[in-house]
A and B are shown apart, each in its own frame.
Chain A
Amino acid sequence: MIVLHVISGVLLVLGSFFSLIGAVGLLRLPDFYARSHAVGVADTMGAGLIMVGLMVHTLTLIDSVGLHGEVMVLIKLAAVLTFLLVTSPISGHAVTRAAWRSGLMPVLADAPNAPDATAEGGQDA
């Protein structure tokens, strides 16, 4: 019983830790493509871990109260987890592809232009 509590606690803390990393990556990284890489990876990981942590937490609720509502909660959590795991990478891919098609050049090590070369493609106000 206590083991489940500990596991869900660890998973939840790890999940929020990864989301924070994704957010910091989004803010600090110099160029769009680096940011989209960081967010794509850390964001999905953080959301997945938090969802699994919540599922383990509902497991702890089950044996104390008796099996009735918990199965529904577990199914819904599993559904949210699968949807997140499917949509998040796809939208990450779609954003980066759209950026590439619109001519946004990544900042390459030997690139002559300025360090934060947000090239002409996606420039806006």
Chain B
Amino acid sequence: MPEVTVELFVDIVLFSFLVSIALTIARIRNLFVAVMLSGIFSLLSAGLFTVMDAVDVAFTEAAVGAGISTVLMLLTLDLTTEQETDPIQPQIFPLIVALCTGGAMLYATQDMPAFGDPSAPVHQHPLADHFINTALQVEMHVPNMVTSVLGSYRGYDTLGETTVVFTAAVAVMLLMRGRRRFSQPSTIDAEPEEGVS
């Protein structure tokens, strides 16, 4: 069983699942179900990352996408209604914008190198083999190159990213805590009201 066709087959099947989920999410009216399907969506895209050998990215996507963001979306769903309100009039303009951006992106993928082919310019650049050869053997002896590049070669950027995460938390705290006086017992501890749909 040649390696490439196996990977290709799994890729195609997973991508078709992804497309079908996306269509269902768009079509469904019950927001609660849409949140659940978005949980599967991120789980599937994490599966695709593994098939394409990007294990660190798949790790993060699985933990954040399928875990935390589903919970946070459910919490917001608790504070808002559960049934999508119908749009006042058919949305033509967003459709046009979506089609234009989709078309532009499709057009742009024409001149991208095929996935993983060695003659792509990014592989030819001397920096690439500098990292691969020296990063592993001479300087760092860190088997996981991603961590060595992420932590040491671009350590300063990662420090910046950590502060970005820090500011995100501060922003959420400012937004959410602004209305302290309205806080009632939280939805998690409150008992389900009787007969309230």
- Residues on A lying within 8 angstroms of B by beta carbon are 124-125
Contact = CB atoms under 8 A, between A and B. Distances in A.
Nearest to B192: A101
A2 B80 CA distance: 60
Contacts, number: 8
Interface string B46-81: 000000000000000000000000000000000000
Contacts of B32: 124
Nearest to B84: A125
A42 B28 CA distance: 29
Contacts of B83: 125
8 contacts: A124-B30, A124-B32, A124-B33, A125-B28, A125-B29, A125-B30, A125-B33, A125-B83
Contacts of A125: 28-30, 33, 83
A contact patch SS: loop
B contact patch SS: mixed
A30 B32 CA distance: 23
Interface string B29-48: 11011000000000000000
Contacts of A124: 30, 32-33
A125 B83 CA distance: 9
A125 B32 CA distance: 10
Nearest to B83: A125
A125 B84 CA distance: 11
B7 to A, nearest CB: 19
A24 to B, nearest CB: 18
Given A125-B28, A125-B33, 6 more contacts: A124-B30, A124-B32, A124-B33, A125-B29, A125-B30, A125-B83
Contacts of B28: 125
A125 B30 CA distance: 6
Nearest to B33: A124
A125 B33 CA distance: 9
Nearest to A101: B192
